[in-house]
């Protein structure tokens, strides 16, 4: 598998249909989607970002970003997930370089029909995780703003009860949260996050 200690994970992404909205509408959502999972990230060219994440946080971050941006009708996000060696790691992520950054950027550039792409040195891992990501985007494509808001709250408050989630997002009834999580296929998304995280951690050290 190579040297585990030197392999890191980079997310590179951009906002779909950002030009249809004012930046102050979606920029806080983008920052709020990245911030819980990365301490080394940058937002650039207006609607693009790059972030270094841990194996534990990688797929949580990806789906939290999806949920964050889909809170506005008509918005979405494309993300290239790159795993590999890092030659230079700088506090300013724009000055960092290496295989993980190249894979992440190329994965984003090659996105056409899909909105998530995973790329690493290991083809078996790429094939398995990309199949999962492709299926999951069929789910996230169906999220309404309300469903996305509920999924985001659940992702960021994993210990919260549905009653507590209803208070966090301002729903009148706990049953509404339950229905929204069911309609969003939240349990299936969490199963995928758990499975892909375990697979990834066989190749990469936990901290980023």
Whether 203 shows a pLDDT value over 90: the answer reads no
Query: The domain containing residue 193 runs over which residues?
Result: 4-201
Residue 37 falls within a domain, yes or no?
Answer: yes
CATH of the domain at 71: 3.30.70.270
Residue 48 falls within a domain, yes or no?
Answer: yes
Residue 207 falls within a domain, yes or no?
Answer: no
| Tokens, residue 128 | 């398995």
Contact 46, 137 (CB under 8 A): no
Residue 208 falls within a domain, yes or no?
Answer: no
**Would you tell me how many other CB atoms lie within 10 Å of the CB of residue 96?**
20
DSSP for 86-143, please give it: EEE--SSGGG-EEHHHHHHHHHHHT-SS-SEEEE-S-HHHHHHHHHHHHHHHHHHTT-
**Would you tell me how many other CB atoms lie within 10 Å of the CB of residue 13?**
28
Residue 34 falls within a domain, yes or no?
Answer: yes
The number of domains in the chain is 1
- What pTM was computed for the model? 0.92
Distance CA 12, CA 33 (A): 13
pLDDT in tens, 152-168: 999 999 999 999 999 99
Residue 206 falls within a domain, yes or no?
Answer: no
């Amino acid at each position: 598998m190579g040297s585990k200690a030197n392999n890191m994970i980079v997310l590179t992404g951009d906002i779909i249909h950002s030009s249809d909205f004012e930046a102050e509408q979606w920029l806080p959502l983008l920052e709020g989607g990245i911030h819980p999972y990365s301490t080394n990230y940058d937002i650039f060219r207006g609607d693009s970002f790059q972030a270094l994440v841990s194996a534990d946080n990688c797929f949580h971050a990806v789906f939290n970003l999806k949920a964050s941006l889909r809170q506005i009708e008509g918005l979405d996000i494309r993300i290239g997930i790159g795993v590999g060696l890092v030659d230079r790691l700088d506090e300013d992520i724009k000055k960092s370089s290496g295989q993980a950054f190249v894979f992440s950027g190329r994965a984003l550039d090659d996105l056409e029909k899909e909105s998530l792409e995973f790329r690493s040195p290991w083809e078996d891992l790429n094939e398995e995780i990309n199949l999962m990501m492709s299926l999951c985007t069929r789910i996230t494509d169906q999220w309404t703003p309300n469903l996305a808001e509920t999924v985001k709250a659940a992702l960021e408050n994993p210990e919260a009860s549905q009653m507590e989630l209803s208070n966090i997002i301002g729903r009148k009834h706990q049953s509404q949260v339950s229905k929204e999580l069911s309609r969003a296929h939240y349990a299936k998304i969490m199963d995928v996050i758990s499975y892909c995280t375990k697979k990834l951690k066989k190749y990469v050290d936990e901290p980023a």
